Amino acid sequence: MVQSLSITASSVDAGLLALPWSTSLAEWPSDTIVSLPKGLSRHLVRFANLSGRVVAVKETTAEMARREYEMLGSLARLDVPCVGRVAVIDGRRTPKGEELPAALVTAHLKFSLPYRALFTQVLRPDTATRLVDALAVLLVRLHTVGFFWGDVSLSNTLFRRDAGAFAAYLVDAETGELHENGLTRGQREHDLDVARTNIAGEIMDLEAGGRLEGGVDAVAIADGIMSSYRSLWSALTDTESFAANETWRITERVQRLNALGFDIGEMSIDEAADGARVLIQPKVVDAGHHQRRLLRLTGLDVQENQARRLLNDMDEFAARVSRLGSDEEMVAHEWLTRVFEPVVKAIPWDLRAKLEPAEVFHQVLEHRWYMSQARGRSIPIAEVLSSYIDGVLRHRRDEATVLGPPTETMAVPVVTGDVPVSDEDDVDWRDLV
């Protein structure tokens, strides 16, 4: 029987036609499938090769696939961190004419991992806290654009390393709704309550499998999203009043938001009846203050914490070469060509899939600090790079596309050297894989 596929895509990749759509996803051949760690899902999800890149394929109903496809497109236009949509495949049938579920195809987010793959043996409390904090930031961003998630969880999120922290990306928009007029408090609180319940269950599941460090309180970790979310939401939306001669507090408010990774696009300042006081409330907010500054100065498009770290190094470079009064763009160009690019280019070709360049640079800075602290003197960058490449980076797994074996079976190498143990990650420097 001739199969008549219906493909919905903004631009159709010819490679889609080569995938075995007439076969149930569970039975796709191994030469098509890519072994990548994935989170828990109510639907069958598998990773596949598509024209030299990796995509995720999820079997679902035609209606749900198209709805999620449209939702991911809307979120992308709103600049919300989420996976990219590729296509919806409908009209699938077996050679015998039996109907098969529709499929949603999304792009694999490079250097991202599900929460279960972010640790090797046990999940430490501080790592769990950082994951929850990252999810809280994502939820605030979604709520500010009027997106009601409906199924907030660690499993429906992908995480990318961000200079010692994590950046969270939405990976499942199936239950989501966009509200042009914003969300009510009840809708936001519902998402928070769902998040707390799901996170507690996910952490308890790790505990039941012996993958949670002893003494960790799963409920306390789950409660963390409530406090993290509310403090950030308050910083973004609370109305302040102050005397007209205290306008410096506007700058203080902006700096506080910038420190949280957000910027103010517009604010309302109204004189009170007596003309002596004004009100300030952010109207349009966006994440990525440091990202945008670094992108404008250098063209580097990185995560927010990475951008903050790189900008700090740039400022230190300016101070070292006495260029504090120079044009910012000139300093940035000199830092890029004399500091950042030489470090990135020093990484051997066979190791460049381990981490993103910005994350490598951040870790080199960390490594230099630990080496200098251990020896009580400044260490030349060439020596730092050699130690980092051979003692740390070479023993990491590739995070551009992490191929099997499953996380549970990965061996932990022993790295020797005089670098003290750091809590840079959920595992220490000598446990990195």
- What residue has token string 């600090």? 369
Residues 35 and 97 in one domain: yes
Evaluate whether residue 368 is within a structural domain.
Answer: yes
Q: Is it the case that residue 33 has pLDDT exceeding 70?
A: yes
Residues 50 and 37 in one domain: yes
Q: How far from the centroid of its chain's Cα atoms is residue 427's Cα?
A: 18
| pLDDT band for position 113 (cuts 50, 70, 90) | confident
**Same domain assignment for residues 176 and 196:** yes
**Structural domains of the chain, count:** 4
Q: Among 218, 237, 256, identify where a domain stops.
A: 237
> Can you give the residue range of the structural domain that contains 165?
113-237
Q: What is the CATH number of the domain that holds 81?
A: 3.30.200
If asked whether residues 61 and 35 sit together in one domain, one would say: yes
182-218 per-position pLDDT tens digit: 999 999 999 999 999 999 998 888 878 777 776 678 8
- Determine the pLDDT at residue 197: 96
* pLDDT tier for residue 131 given thresholds of 50, 70 and 90: confident
Domain membership of residue 130 (yes or no) is yes
Amino acid at 318: A
Under 8 Å between Cβ of 89 and 16: yes
- Whether 118 and 230 share a structural domain: yes
Asked which of 209, 237, 265 is the last residue of a domain, the reply is 237
- Kindly state whether residue 293 falls inside one of the protein's structural domains: no
Say yes or no: 158 and 188 in one domain: yes
Q: Cα dihedral sign for 289, 295, 298, 304?
A: positive
Q: Would residue 299 count as lying in a domain? A: no
Cα–Cα distances (Å) from 347 to 107, 334, 360, 389, 431, in that order, read 27, 20, 9, 7, 21
Closest alpha carbon to 150 in 208, 64, 228, 212: 64
Q: What is the pLDDT of residues 54-100, one digit of tens each?
A: 999 999 999 999 999 999 999 999 988 999 999 999 999 999 989 99
One domain, residues 357 and 409: yes
What is the DSSP code (8-state) at residue 18? G
300 belongs to a structural domain: no
- Domain membership of residue 327 (yes or no) is no
CA distance 410 to 127: 19
Residues 204, 155 share a domain: yes
Question: Do 228 and 128 reside in the same domain of the chain?
Answer: yes
The reply to whether 158 and 262 lie within a common domain is no
The pLDDT, as a whole number, for residue 238 is 80
Same structural domain, 52 and 81: yes
Three-class SS state of 142: helix
Mean pLDDT over 153-181 rounds to 89
Distance of CA 76 to the CA centre of its chain: 14
Mean pLDDT score, 307-325: 79
Supply the pLDDT for residue 433: 25
Mean pLDDT of 2-9: 79
Supply the pTM of this predicted model: 0.71
Domain assignment present for residue 296? The answer is no
Last residue of a domain, one of 60, 88, 108: 108
